[in-house]
Structure 1
Amino acid sequence: MNPLSSSPGDVSRGRAIVASRQVGLCLLCHSGPFPEERFQGNLAPHLSDSVGQFTPAQLRARLVDPSRLNPESIMPAYYRTTGLNRVAPRFVDETILTSQQIEDVVAFLISIQDHATR
């Protein structure tokens, strides 16, 4: 999947999105390299394990709509507006993350991947 934004992702902004309890909410299910964050999730794999050796395009596709790759996934579709269930009225036709936020998260996840292989 091609980048969703013309601007490259920013690792720091991506980290902030992933760690945010108001935006990404990733830590509800995942744990990750966030020693300052208490109460990280255990429903999904550690983020370092989740990113594996995926390419940026593969990570992006997983963020956009994980159910296309795994119909059993409980992970939300962060950049899809159709075919969703039980969407609050104020969020109808709105994505969870913007295209730039998706790119920022991808950049952060790639940085975890790079760090884990060293």
Structure 2
Amino acid sequence: MKNAFGLTTAAALFASTVVAEEVKPTTVSFVDGTVTESLTGQTGDPVEGRKVFANRKLGNCLACHANADLSEESFHGEVGPPMDGVGDRWLEAELRGIVTNSKMMFEGTIMPAFYIDEGYTRPLDDFAGKSILTAQQVEDVVAYLMTLKEQ
């Protein structure tokens, strides 16, 4: 009986540590432009998301969006809407959809799709067939955007 209890406990611990499989770019499910389920099965890290948002080689979000939370960064863009208060204006599922592929939410937008790996032309062969951001980076950016509330 003691051995059975140990096996049951071990199985329960193992099951609780299994992480959901990452959603591949080609299998993301959009509903009216939103993505309701996490792409990774877990919550994003807003601290990491802020880094991705500011990184000119990853998200490069500041190229188009002003963001008072990143006032230490220079050259904020004015093409897209300001990010101040975005966490109050949009639901998490809407932000996930916008970051994943904004074209599913806004017809004709020039915002890039950050989590697709086909249906586009990349100027460098090294990037062909790859998404701009990983599923985890999308979740991190969404978590960060959700922290940007009206003052």
TM (normalized to structure 1)? 0.88
Correspondence 1:37 to 2:73: yes
Structure 1: state its 5+ residue gaps: none
Matched residue of 1:65: which SS?
A: helix
Aligned partner (choices 31, 46, 50) of residue 11 of structure 1: 46
The amino acid across from 1:88 in the alignment is L
Q: Distance in 2 between matches of 1:70 and 1:85?
A: 20
Q: Deviations over 1:73-109 (max 9, x none)?
A: 1111000112213442111111100010000000000
Correspondence 1:55 to 2:112: no
Q: What CA RMSD, in Å, does the superposition of the two structures yield over aligned residues?
A: 1.6
Other-structure match for 2:110: 74
Q: Is the 8 A contact 2:44 2:141 kept in 1?
A: yes
TM (normalized to structure 2)? 0.70
Q: How far 1:4 moved relative to its partner?
A: 0.3
Q: How far 1:6 moved relative to its partner?
A: 2.4
List structure 1 segments (4+ residues) > 6 angstroms apart after TM superposition: none
Aligned partner (choices 56, 60, 74) of residue 25 of structure 1: 60
RCO higher in structure (CA 8 A, sep ≥6): 1
Aligned partner (choices 99, 104, 111) of residue 140 of structure 2: 104
The amino acid across from 2:142 in the alignment is V
Among the aligned pairs, what percent are the same residue? 34
The amino acid across from 2:96 in the alignment is R
Correspondence 1:92 to 2:124: no
Structure 2: state its 5+ residue gaps: 1-34
Larger Rg: 2
Q: How many residues align?
A: 115
